Amino acid sequence: MASAPCPTCSIFPRHVCRRRSRRRLASTSGATLIDALLSASAAGITELLSPYPPGWGGALLVGLLHSIEIALGATCLGLLIGTGGAYGKLYGGPVVRDLLAVYTTIVRAVPELVLILLLYYAGTDLINQALTAMGYQRVDVSGLAAGIAVLGFVQGAYSTEVIRGAILAIPQGQIEAARAYGMSPGLMLRRITLPSMLPFAIPGLANLWLIATKDTALLAVVGFYELALATRQAAGVTKAYFTFFFAAGVLYLLLSLFSNLIIGRVETWSRRGMPSLKEAR
């Protein structure tokens, strides 16, 4: 469980929130304010952002690392849920299909921020209740695991739709041929369905990966230490709000651009042997 929310902004946990200090900053008279800002700018932006202790660059980089870890974990979990969900939606019984429809509809209709709060509290609560019921001690669920589970659950709903569409786009003859050769469903999944749906799924999944990297920022609200929260803390301590949020924006942007580069490579790789997009048109 996160600690009690801050009384001023009522959103962030108390130890995280810097809003009170900003209020004070805004209400003091101009002269002291300018002094405060000047001292911050005199310290020098390079010094503030340097990776070694007086600077906060190291903290930001650790935060970025945590963000990437969560995004990777959440995407992998989302892919697992999505593959299972897509199979359930396409080949499952009527009850499974309806339940999956409810899952994807609800997750896609409720803001991620609300889902994260709800799943975070409900998840940790359920685990602890189950543990106490079985006679174990209560545990503190690690932020990383909770973050991955929550974001993965959200990603799963979106991946379900992407993968379902991609499986439907596979030429039917390929699946029939696989059946005709007597492949078991597991073998067919591994050898035929997954590889041949990949070119159709990659654009959508790439989009989901980009969304996942950006959604990690929302975990700052439940107090998990990642790039957005690291930035907030650094900015709150040094009062150099603009510098730090700008730096965080640049880091996120670099991550997105780098991802785009990799995605482009993966896309050409997954489409090898197929007519190129231009010819297909």
Interface residues with another protein (CB under 8 A)? 4-5, 7, 9-12, 19, 22, 25-26, 30, 33-34, 37, 94-95, 98-99, 106, 108-115, 117-118, 121-122, 125, 210, 214-218, 220-221, 228, 231-232, 235, 239, 241-243, 245-246, 248-249, 252-253, 256-257
Rounded alpha-carbon distances, angstroms, from residue 8 to 13, 16, 34, 115, 239: 10, 12, 24, 23, 18
Please give the full DSSP string across 40-102, using - where no structure is assigned: HHHT-HHHHH-SSTTSSHHHHHHHHHHHHHHHHHHHHHHHHHHHHHHHHHHHS-HHHHHHHHH
* Nearer residue to another protein within complex by CB, 30 or 53: 30
The torsion defined by the Cα of 219, 108, 214 and 204, in degrees rounded to 10, comes to: 140
Question: Minimum distance between the CB of residue 150 and another protein, rounded to whole angstroms?
Answer: 13
Question: Minimum distance between the CB of residue 114 and another protein, rounded to whole angstroms?
Answer: 5
Question: Minimum distance between the CB of residue 2 and another protein, rounded to whole angstroms?
Answer: 10
* Nearer residue to another protein within complex by CB, 47 or 245: 245
* Nearer residue to another protein within complex by CB, 197 or 247: 247
What is the rounded distance in angstroms from the CA atom of residue 152 to the CA atom of residue 63? 19
* Nearer residue to another protein within complex by CB, 110 or 177: 110
Question: Minimum distance between the CB of residue 72 and another protein, rounded to whole angstroms?
Answer: 17
* Nearer residue to another protein within complex by CB, 192 or 234: 234
Give residue 41's region: left, alpha or beta (phi > 0; psi -120 to 50): alpha
Question: Minimum distance between the CB of residue 11 and another protein, rounded to whole angstroms?
Answer: 5
What is the rounded distance in angstroms from the CA atom of residue 216 to the CA atom of residue 255? 13
